[in-house]
Amino acid sequence: MSLIPHRLNCLDKMKGLWFMLVLVAVAKSERIFTGDQVIRVDVQSEEQIKLLQFLESEEKWNLDFWLHPVSTKLPVDVRVPRTHLSAVKEYLHAHRIPFTVMIDNVQELLDQEKAEMEENHISERSTRSFNFGAYHPLDTIYSWMDTLVAQHPNLVTKLDMGRSYENRPLYVLKFSTGGTKRPAIWIDLGIHSREWVSQATGVWTANKIATDYSTDASLTSLLNTMDIYMLIVANPDGYVFTHTSDRMWRKTRSKNSGSVCVGVDPNRNWDAGFGGPGASSLPCSDSYHGPYAHSEIEVKNIVNLIQGHGNFKSFISVHSYSQLLMYPYGYTCRGAPDQAELDSVARAAVQKLTSLYGTAYQVGNICNIIYQASGGSIDWSYDVGIKYSFAFELRDTGRYGFILPADQIIPTASETWLALKHIMEYVRDHPY
Amino acid sequence: MATGELNPSHYPAQRAAKVVQHYLNTHYGSPYKLFGLERVYSAKAEDVADSGRKYQLEISVHEIISNAKEKCSAEVFFPRGEKQLSPQVQVSSCEELFKINAKPEEEALFQQYKTNKILRTEKRLPDSYGNMDPEMTPFWHLSIVASSFIMLTESTENTLYNMAQVANITQLVGCFTSYSVSFLQWNRNK
């Protein structure tokens, strides 16, 4: 309604009158039920039924029966307008018809419902327009997870797999169409908190899996026999720290006894060549391996889940940056037994990735391609028998590095999806 | 350390090639001319008596602003010794890239900010989300050039440096306009 004041001439006054009438009409059309109550009568005899049917026929009471009086086996529910409440209750008392008040104030309920609807509308609007091309703080990602689950209840569940050092929940999204402990694929993202495009890619990818299921034949066949577990924020304490204090924080936020320096490199903390080359024994180092393998609760929780499940067939860790797709080992430059196969799967996956925007990736084992690094996640997963273990380093190659502009999130996630899908399809087609 | 023919996508070759990028930016970079390592085609390493290791590289280099690409040959020598010394770089057959003329833009930028009497300080380029005021882009490039000098000096066979973020850039007004770029961070662990 425009409130621009202007001098009212005759025509304006006429317009004003019409406007007022319209307002009144609109106001009247939304009915108010303040003070109305809904009463439930547990009918005990045919006589009581007849008495209630008489009430129903009396128009002057303006009673609105929600459940009509028909038999003694069923309750009778009636909304009684406020103005007639005392009269109706007196009538029921006089005829010894017992009743209970189900709804104390109908309008209150309606207001509540309206508010809920608006809330849902807003949240629905916001999930449809959830900006996948932006970086979000932890709380936003966590609440978005709930909306994803709500939108795809038959496919996605959110599991609380434990707590972080600072007691934040670790939520893994499980994509499953049923079964018990089906062969599964593990994907973790953001274990190094400053690699923001990793968590952001996880969010986009989770949405992609949920929305493409049942329309994409390959994905559908995959999910009909396998489960996907996705841990979008593997290091929530670190992630929050990158938002609040230090954008370049990499490690966990655990306190190191005897040192002022905080945190352990969670990708040097796994029980795979633990404490070997490429990891530091100094708490102040960014690649500090920690006091012992799996000392970090974030790592231990993943280990517990994987071992407790016992049927994971693939383990994929997603990092940034460098544009690499790697397979074990990092703790040694000696080739893994399945190196030839892993190499060919990775090369084919990268071909698919590159096909989208021409983004060039290198392929190789960790030790040769990036650096020797002990205590890494995919070395651990490979050594516990999960053959198809891979690590991604997403965009870019150093121009922006960790601080990748948000407009590259969706392109990065889209191209990475092609590689991920290839790996997952290969795992599906090569059971072991 | 590997000697002889190296796998071009493995890190020993990649790290040596990165040093070439730092060299090019240090010597030829400007707010309007910035080089990136595009690809390593081949690499060879050999020990030079006791004095160090020499890498011979065939790479392609990318001038980011004009989007020109060229194949270059380069030699990188990492001296060995008690004290860490900077690598020495020689580049050949890269002439086209050096011919790229950004002088007009560089001159315009210089004139624009020479007369600016306000002490400018910019923090965090880019910001945490990768955003940057377009007006600041030439100064981001300038910072990359400046950090390339440090990265070139500090590089070894075991490092792979990139500038992570400009913490602080301040314009100092005096007889000439100079910029103090402070607290650059760079890191290699991904």
pLDDT in tens, B101-113: 888 988 888 888 7
**How would you classify the pairing of strands A184-189 and B121-125?**
unpaired
DSSP state of A117: H
CA distance A217 to A46: 61
**What's the confidence (pLDDT) of residue A121?**
55
DSSP B115-126: S--S--EEEEES
Q: Is the pLDDT of residue B189 over 50?
A: yes
* Cross-strand bridge partners of residue B5: B44
Tokens of A161: 């797999």
Tell me which chain B residues have a C-beta less than 8 angstroms from the C-beta of A248. 164-165, 185, 187
- How does pLDDT run across A174-209, given as a tens digit for each residue? 999 999 999 999 999 999 999 999 999 999 999 999
Residues of B in contact with A317 (CB under 8 A): none
Predicted local distance difference test score (pLDDT) of residue A109: 67
Q: Which of residues 119-138 of B touch A (CB under 8 A)?
A: 126-131
The DSSP bridge pattern shows strands A312-320 and A388-394 to be parallel
- Residue A122 has a pLDDT of 61
Residues 6+ apart with CB under 8 A from A21: none
Express each pLDDT in A411-421 by its tens digit: 999 999 999 99
Amino acid A426: pLDDT: 98
A66/A342: higher pLDDT: A342
Peptide bond preceding A329 in cis form (omega within 30 of 0): yes
Q: Could you give the CA distance from residue A289 to residue A354 in angstroms, rounded to a whole number?
A: 34
Check: CB of residue A266 under 8 Å from CB of residue A191: yes
Report how far residue A282's alpha carbon sits from residue A288's, in angstroms, rounded to the nearest whole number.
6
- B-chain residues within 8 Å CB-CB of A369? 9-11
pLDDT value, residue A14: 43
The tokens of A61 are what?
């009471």
Q: What is the mean pLDDT of chain A?
A: 89
Q: How confident is the model at residue A123 (pLDDT cuts 50, 70, 90)?
A: low
Span A97-109, pLDDT tens digits: 888 887 777 777 6
Q: Which residues of A form the catalytic set?
A: 393
Q: How many CB pairs under 8 A join A and B?
A: 69
User: What order do you get walking across the sheet with B88-92 strand by strand?
Assistant: B4-6, B35-48, B52-63, B68-79, B88-92
Q: Find chain B residues with C-beta within 8 A of A396's C-beta.
A: none
pLDDT at B169: 84
CB nearest to B126's CB, from A134, A250, A403: A403
Chain A nearest-CA distance from B174, in A, is 32
Contacts with A335 (C-beta within 8 Å, 6 or more apart), sequence order: A329, A365
What is d(CA A296, CA A274) in angstroms, rounded to the nearest whole number?
Answer: 13
The percent of residues above 70 in pLDDT, for chain B, comes to 87
Instruction: Please state whether B90 falls in left (phi above 0), alpha (psi between -120 and 50) or beta.
Output: beta
Q: What does pLDDT average to over chain B? A: 86
What pLDDT score does B181 carry? 52
Mean pLDDT, residues A287-301 = 98
Residues of chain A found within 8 Å of residue B188, distances taken between Cβ atoms = 371
The alpha carbons of chain B give a radius of gyration, in whole angstroms, of 18
Q: Which residues of A230-260 are buried (b: 16+ CB within 10 A; e: fewer)?
A: bbbbbbbbbbbbbbeeebbbbbbbbebeeee
Eight-state DSSP code of residue B67: T
- Number of residues in chain A: 432
Q: How far is B37 from chain A (nearest CA, A)?
A: 9
* 8 Å CB contact between A160 and A236: no
- Assess whether pLDDT exceeds 80 at residue B100: yes
**How far apart are alpha carbons A90 and A367 in whole angstroms?**
87
Cα A80 to Cα A56: distance, rounded to the nearest angstrom: 11
Window from A13-22, A130-139, B135-144, B146-155 with minimum mean pLDDT: A13-22
> When comparing pLDDT for A121 and B38, which is higher?
B38
Exposure on the CB side of residue A81, measured as CA atoms within 13 A: 10
Q: What is the pLDDT of residue B2?
A: 75
What confidence tens digit (pLDDT) does each residue in B12-65 have?
A: 999 999 999 999 999 999 999 999 999 999 999 999 988 999 999 999 999 999
Share of chain A above pLDDT 70, in %: 88
Looking at the complex, report in whole angstroms how far the Cα of residue B115 sits from the nearest Cα belonging to chain A: 31
How close does chain A come to B53, measured CA to CA in Å?
Answer: 19
| Contact flag B11-A368 (C-beta cutoff 8 Å) | yes
Q: Does B185 touch chain A (CB under 8 A)?
A: yes
pLDDT of A113 reads 64
Quick check: A360 pLDDT over 90? yes
Taking the complete model, does pTM exceed 0.80, yes or no? no
Tell me phi and psi for residue A395, to 5 degrees: -60, 160
CA–CA separation, B48 and B78 (whole Å): 10
Cβ neighbours of residue A151 under 8 Å, at least 6 residues apart?
A127, A210
Q: Minimal CA–CA distance to A184: which of A200, A198, A173?
A: A173
What is the pLDDT at residue A10? Answer: 41
- Confidence (pLDDT) at A148: 96
Note the pLDDT tens digit of each residue in A376-428.
999 999 999 999 999 999 999 999 999 999 999 999 999 999 999 999 999 99
Which residues are registered as beta bridge partners of A364? A326
Instruction: Please indicate if any CB of chain B lies within 8 Å of the CB of A406.
Output: yes
Compute the average pLDDT of residues A312-341.
97
- Structure-model confidence comparison of residues A22 and A287, the more confident one: A287
Task: Classify residue A315 by burial, with Cβ atoms within 10 Å: 0-12, 13-18, 19+.
Answer: buried
Per DSSP, what are the bridge partners of residue A429? Answer: none
Q: What is the mean pLDDT of residues B165-180?
A: 66
Within an 8 Å CB–CB cutoff, is residue B159 touching chain A? no
Q: How far is CA B171 from the centre of its chain?
A: 21
Task: Tell me the one-letter amino acid at A130.
Answer: F
Mean pLDDT score, A363-370: 94
Query: Nearest-CA neighbor of A371 among B11, B175, B115, B129?
Result: B11
| Omega prior to A64 cis, within 30 of 0 | no
> Do A369 and B9 make contact, defined as CB atoms within 8 angstroms?
yes
CB neighbours of B120 closer than 8 A, spacing ≥ 6? B169, B170, B171
- Give the Å distances, CA to CA, from A11 to A5, A8, A21, A23, A77: 15, 8, 16, 18, 52
Neighbours of B60 (CB within 10 A): 16
Token digits for A406? Answer: 């948000």
The H-or-E segment that residue A126 falls in is helix A106-128
- Strands A64-67, A37-41: pairing kind: unpaired
In sequence order, which residues have a C-beta less than 8 Å from that of residue A144 and are 6 or more positions away? A127, A130, A136, A203
**DSSP result, A287-316:** TB--SSTT-SHHHHHHHHHHHHH--EEEEE
φ, ψ for residue A202, nearest 5 deg = -60, -45
SS3 A389: strand
More confident residue, A406 or B187: A406
Amino acid A112: pLDDT: 66
Distance from C-alpha of B51 to C-alpha of B54, rounded to nearest angstrom: 10
pLDDT of residue A2: 35
Structure tokens at B77: 């020598």
Instruction: Place A237 in a pLDDT band, splitting at 50, 70 and 90.
Output: very high
pLDDT at residue A291 above 70? Answer: yes
